[in-house]
Chain A
Amino acid sequence: MYKPEAENIIIVKDLVKKFGSFVANDHLSFEVKKGEIFGFLGANGAGKTTAIKILCGLSYPTSGHLMVGGFDIYREREKIKRNIGYMSQKFSLYDDLTVFENIRFYAGIYGLRRNVIEERSRDLMEKLDMKDARDKLIRDIPLGWKQKMAFSVAIIHNPKIVFLDEPTGGVDPVTRRQFWDMIFEASHEGITVFVTTHYMDEAEYCDRVSIMVDGKIAALDTPEKLKKDYGAGSMNEVFLKLARVKVN
């Protein structure tokens, strides 16, 4: 839920990331409010993944001031790591481990206690209706389940923020819809969601969206406001208009 008066949980000021002479992120500045679902949109190669990697601590910015969860990304990386979750477009789970072993492993590296792990994985299986799959290898379960598993694992330690990098790639529309229900639920529980996607229909589900074009933020607001400002019927149209500006 977006509340303008809520505290800023992510603050980005003048983020620049260069690879040689190529500028992937060109002076990005934005804030994400606590508890909102923040959509980070853009075409392939617009610089979304670069930015999300910097926010997660997988990569250093060239310059800029960044705070994540109230911590400075240069000096307080370790504290940030404890407070964020991350899910990549690859649904990174271990194929040769069972569902439960994956949960236990990821929960374990966040230092969760054994009884807590048992309890949470039981709840999780029940919620995902996967009780019978507890001891199945990940490689033997359907892609949709893998995706839900990957998300559940990313928030198993109750992080303040969860970063989702193209979390719905390669799954069918029904599964995508179900997946967004999980995102809403996490958001209800107070987890801030930072999600990148290039499906414009998903943009409608976000509290606010930013649209990146060529390493810059071309627009940032609620979907309703953006549609109004650009005189568009859908987020898809908004995006096309922005992209066309860039071409011209």
Chain B
Amino acid sequence: MKRFLGFVIKEFYHIFRDYRTLLILFLLPAIQLLLFGYVITNEIKDARIAILDQSKDEVTRRISEKVLSSGYFILDKNLSSSSEIEQVFRKGNVQLVLVFAPDFAKNLDKTGNARVQIIGDASDPNTANILVNYIQGILSNYLVSLNAEKIPMQITPEVRMMYNGQMKGVYMFVPGLMAMLLMLISALMTSLSITREKELGTMELLLVSPLKPFQIIIGKVFPYVFLAFIDACIIIIIGNTVFGVPVVGNVALLLFESFLYICMALSLGILISTITSSQQIAMMLSLVALMLPTILLSGFIFPVENMPVALQWFCRLMPPKYFITIIKSIMLKGNGFSYIVFETAIMAGFTAFFILLSIKKFKVRLA
């Protein structure tokens, strides 16, 4: 035990004397979270639009007013001819152009059918889509208010978004970032610190000593369990205090699941370090093989349900996917353990699998 303690202390010296490691450990989570929380939002405010009103009557004026007072749009320019449309898009000043056909009010009154064209800038497809949807919403609202007197029947949808009433993007980023950063710290840092000992040749010395291989490995990863755990807490606390992301469920359960995920990522880091002997390769493997799938294929940013079926199956092999499901379930829905038994079991399975594989690889290398 005393030997083990000495080992862990040495490992902490390595970490605290390397300011780059420290930066990655403690500054990165905070910065990433603030970046994701503030910069990358799906909510759109003050999009600049242009309006080409070829009718200029009471109805088009009222619709324009509604659009501009919605809070989503700011009028950049009133266009006078359709030739200007292409021009304003090219300049990139506006993200959307609204075109009212001539005799708008007259047609609406006589035939019950008036035409309005919504032109979006699809060089940014997501934003264009959202903006077009906003405008359509405003138009159909207006239509309903027009018809209110005429039609006695109406269907009034009452929408309520469960668990994230204001549809805040940060609710999605906090779990995703936790999955990503814990993976980064646990897998990348451990694989680097183990391969570093190999490069230095100190690993040989340790293996010649009376320390058992599993003691060496546990001694090396133990500090990272501790530090990753602190990071998990930092993310939860910043998410909660700065962005108001709640922890509805049991905090102890949340921490337990984070611990399990950290162990899974560490065992992956150990596996990486058993198959490589240089820090550079370990770094490439961790970044390419772990970070990209964590970001792209875990449902963190892109919903898994929208992917091609083959890719969906591939996503099921990504451990972070299950962790994200688990934390969303605990943090936002307040679910108990019985709801996440399946995901927990899968993560435990992954952990066991990686550890067994590492032991096997380790033995092959020693033989």
Tell whether, in the assembled complex, residue A96 and residue B18 are in contact, meaning their CB atoms are under 8 Å apart: yes
Q: Which residues between 199 and 230 of chain B lie within 8 Å of chain A, taking CB atoms?
A: 200-202, 204-211
Interchain nearest-CB distance for A10 vs B (Å): 15
- Whether B10 sits at the interface, judged by CB under 8 Å, is yes
Query: Which chain A residue lies CB-closest to B13?
Result: A97
Tell whether, in the assembled complex, residue A104 and residue B6 are in contact, meaning their CB atoms are under 8 Å apart: yes
CA distance A122 to B46 in the complex (A): 71
Per-residue B-contact encoding for A43-75, CB less than 8 Å = 1, 0 else: 000000000000011111000000000000000
- Whether B14 sits at the interface, judged by CB under 8 Å, is yes
Residues of A within 8 A of B201 (CB): 88-92
On whether A94 and B14 interact (CB within 8 A), knowing A59-B366, A109-B211, the answer reads yes
On whether A90 and B200 interact (CB within 8 A), knowing A82-B210, A109-B209, the answer reads yes
Contact of B208 among A60, A84, A91, A105 (CB under 8 A): A84
Contact of A56 among B6, B208, B210, B367 (CB under 8 A): B208
How many B residues face the partner with a CB closer than 8 A?
22
CA distance A111 to B210 in the complex (A): 9
CA distance A247 to B31 in the complex (A): 64
- Whether B110 sits at the interface, judged by CB under 8 Å, is no
Query: Which chain B residue lies CB-closest to A150?
Result: B205
Residues of B within 8 A of A96 (CB): 13-14, 17-18
- Whether A151 sits at the interface, judged by CB under 8 Å, is no
Secondary structure dominating the interface of B = helix
Tell whether, in the assembled complex, residue A78 and residue B367 are in contact, meaning their CB atoms are under 8 Å apart: no
Tell whether, in the assembled complex, residue A109 and residue B6 are in contact, meaning their CB atoms are under 8 Å apart: yes
Query: Which chain B residue lies CB-closest to A83?
Result: B210
Closest 4 CB pairs of A and B: A90-B201, A108-B6, A92-B201, A86-B208
Query: Given A57-B208, A81-B210, 13 more contacts at CB 8 Å?
Result: A56-B208, A58-B366, A78-B210, A82-B210, A91-B201, A92-B200, A94-B200, A94-B202, A101-B13, A105-B10, A109-B6, A109-B210, A109-B211
Enumerate chain A interface residues (CB-CB to B < 8 A).
56-60, 78, 81-82, 84-86, 88-97, 101, 104-106, 108-111, 154
Of the A-B pairs whose beta carbons lie under 8 Å apart in the complex, a sample of 28, sorted by A's number, is A56-B208, A58-B207, A59-B366, A59-B367, A60-B366, A81-B209, A81-B210, A82-B210, A85-B208, A86-B204, A86-B208, A88-B205, A89-B201, A90-B200, A90-B201, A92-B202, A94-B14, A94-B202, A97-B10, A101-B10, A101-B13, A105-B6, A105-B10, A106-B205, A108-B6, A109-B209, A109-B210, A111-B210
Enumerate chain B interface residues (CB-CB to A < 8 A).
2-3, 6-7, 10, 13-14, 17-18, 200-202, 204-211, 366-367
